[in-house]
Structure 1
Amino acid sequence: MSKSTAAPMRENIVMPDLPIVDAHIHLWDRIGFDYFAPEFLVDVADGHNVTASIYVECNMRYSDDPRPDFQPIGETEFVLEQAKLAEGSGHDLACGILGAVNLPLGADVEPIIDAQIAAGQGRFRGVRFRVAFDTDPVAGYNEIGYPSGSVLDNPAFLDAARCLARKGLVLDLWAFHTQLDDVLRFAEKVPELTIVLDHVGGPLGVGRYASMRKEVFGHWSRGIGSLATAPNVNVKLSGLGISRLGFNFAGGGQAQSSDELVAAWKPYVRTCVEAFGPERSIFGSNFPVDRAAASYRTLLNGFKKMLADIGDVELRAVFAENARRVYRLP
């Protein structure tokens, strides 16, 4: 398929008054362009009622602390500097921060977590840990910040998770669909910990999975249904634009409309909401990563259309209130 030369259409805003807390954003220069507070504020000012956002760790601006495990605290400090740039904008940028902590250290993470909490100045709400692992050389990650094998069954990881729970923090997990059973076993071992499964549980669509869309959907949907039985787990409706999920639009470019997003992504979003219920489903844009699939305006229109019939109370829960409750936002 050749890449389309037509520019994606600029749409009218769907449900412009619906309050939104964008529960998954990054600020970085990792993918060939700057996307920091000024760029994100342009997106949130484009018509949707996005009142606040949650920043999620992404290896940005680590410090030069001689203790490597304390270096991610530099990212939290960087985010606070970015948040100051949003003052007066009407958007509460990074009102919650999910930082990086080397959880396989086990109980030794406690002073690191305490340092993150202190650095966050009231905004630190938890840890995002990337357990995403697959042996396929295309689907799997081979970069800093990703494991070279399974870590969820590591006793030390469980000890660190219990430390998070004691401190009232949330654990976001980025896992692939092949790991959902592992996530469930882990969640059952630490029922006191609030867990958020990122990016609808990562149904892979590249490498060996590229020709297995139907099989992957079946495997993934069964895993989502099982994981939803753990009451301490929530699901984040985000990340479907990640390249590893294999949803290519316009031969590799952005979708031409929100309806194109709906056609490709609605089965995954609705499966999650039906399994977890609107009360445990949380919207996140995953910008700027998901900018590869659509503009911010179009992406949010698409998610609103996918869930338009669930009811006003439920919409407000998915798009704002669940994030505020789960991450204890002001």
Structure 2
Amino acid sequence: MTDDFEFVDAHVHYWQPSVNDWYPALRARPIYRDILPGDFPPSAGHVHVSAVSSPQSVLDEARWLDRLRRETGFPSAVIGTIDPAASFDVIEKNLLAQARSPAFRGVRVFAGLDPAADTALKLFRLLGENDWIFEIITRPAGIASYLPAVDASPGTTFVLEHAGWPEGEEPEQFRRWREAVAPLAAFGNVHCKISGFGMALGTTDPDRLRPWVEACLELFGVDRCFFGSNFPVDSVAGTYADLIGAYREITASLGGEDRHKLFAANARHRYRLPA
């Protein structure tokens, strides 16, 4: 970044398919090429979020990331994953194995986890007991299914990834998205990762992103929001500089302290990164 701007990128993906083919769901996409810390602009921190789509590779990726961190200093923190189809004993074992890395901060589950199931409730309880995060990734229609589980897990920190992944820019789509997110935002242990709009809306135009970002800030408040690039995935809509520039333009009217919270301090606190 330029000038005195500090940015902790709360959502990046590293992968190296030339060596480790752990992401079969991504093989047909143009973004499926080696992406490593040096491919990003200088940053105050990176939170890597696992996109592994072969459950047997989860621990392999965790070990690879830890080696990468020792060699390069990145990622600063890791959100791993688990296989929701496994028994809870196996899930717990895999979580503890991932937690051997000092960068481990929690998990997300891309698909297959029923938040009302006993496995999910046990998982959320275990995460809360260890101060680990659960990152929710779902479309607006799926958000309501998480409300009872979040209500039953007051000691667990939840992060809504990609701001609830809107389905389009039409006024009715915006209304449905906002109405879905609002009750989740009412829980004080839920935070909002403002990310993924390039992927979801296909743009980095600040005028088009502004209503969504401002709605996130209104619903969650500045203290429970932070930005992530979702790169390389959001590169379908523009460059890294385009996206971060849009977020900077959208927040230009905020005070310096609030902007610093959104771009650095909140993510640093939430993912326990050194100052």
TM-score for the superposition, normalised by structure 1: 0.74
Match of 2:186 in 1: 229
Distance apart, 1:184 and its partner CA: 2.3
Aligned equivalent of 1:252: none
Aligned residues: 261
Aligned to 1:262: 206
Kindly tell me: are residues 106 and 17 of structure 1, through their superposed partners in 2, closer, same or farther at Cα, counting changes over 3 Å?
farther
* Aligned-CA RMSD value: 2.1
Tell whether the 8 Å contact from 1:106 to 1:158 is kept in structure 2 after alignment.
Answer: no
Does 2:235 match 1:287? no
Q: Is the 8 A contact 1:55 1:97 kept in 2?
A: yes
Alignment equivalent of 1:183, drawn from 133, 146, 161: 146
After the TM superposition, which residues 74-85 of structure 1 pair with which residues of structure 2 at under 5 Å, given as runs?
74-85=60-71
- Secondary structure, counterpart of 2:76 in structure 1: strand
Deviation at 1:85, TM superposition (A): 4.5
Secondary structure of residue in 2 paired with 1:263: helix
Match of 2:108 in 1: 128
TM-superposed CA distance for 1:81, in Å, is: 2.8
Of 167, 173, 185, 1:216 maps to 173
Q: In the alignment, what sits opposite 2:13?
A: 26
Distance 1:248 1:318, change over 3 A: closer
Look at both structures and tell me which one has the larger radius of gyration over its CA atoms.
1
1:183 is displaced (CA, Å) by 2.3
How far the C-alpha of 1:105 sits from its partner, in A, is 4.5
Unaligned runs of 5+ in 2: 18-25
- Is 2:70 the partner of 1:58? no
* Equivalent residue, structure 2, for 1:10: none
Q: 1:309 to 1:84 in 2, by over 3 A?
A: same
Q: By how many angstroms is 1:103 displaced?
A: 4.2
Cα deviations by residue, 1:144-197 (Å, 9 ceiling, x for unpaired): xx33xx711112211111111111101111110112222222211111100000
Counterpart CA distance in 2 for 1:85 and 1:25 is 18
Moved more, 305-314 or 195-204: 305-314
Bigger fraction of residues in helix: 2
Q: Write the letter of the residue equivalent to 1:240.
A: F
Helix, strand or coil at the partner of 1:44? coil
Query: Match of 1:152?
Result: 115
1:172 maps to which of 110, 113, 135: 135
Partner residue in 2 for 1:44: 41
Contact 2:81 2:107 in 1 (8 A): yes
- Report if the CA contact (8 A) 1:101-1:129 is conserved: yes
Are 1:97 and 2:94 counterparts? no
Asked if the contact 2:163–2:194 (Cα under 8 Å) also holds between the matched residues in 1, the reply is yes
Q: Kindly provide the CA deviation profile for residues 188-226 of structure 1, in whole angstroms up to 9, marking residues without a partner as x.
A: 111110000000101113xxxxxx821111111112222
TM-score by length of 2: 0.88
Q: Is the Cα–Cα contact under 8 Å of residues 206 and 250 in structure 2 kept in the other structure?
A: yes
Distance change in 2, residues 1:103/1:189 (3 Å):
farther
Structure 1, unaligned stretches of length 5 or more?
1-12, 63-67, 87-91, 131-145, 206-211, 250-254, 256-260
Do the aligned partners of 1:43 and 1:297 also contact (CA within 8 Å) in 2? no
Query: What is the letter of the counterpart of residue 206 of structure 2?
Result: V
Partner of 2:175, secondary structure, is: helix
User: How many Å separate the matches in 2 of 1:229 and 1:174?
Assistant: 18
Contact 1:262–1:302 at 8 Å: present in 2 too? yes
Paired AA for residue 52 in structure 1: G
Contact 1:235–1:272 (Cα < 8 Å) also in 2: yes
The reply to whether residue 321 of structure 1 matches residue 265 of structure 2 is: yes
Q: How far off is 1:104 after superposition?
A: 5.5
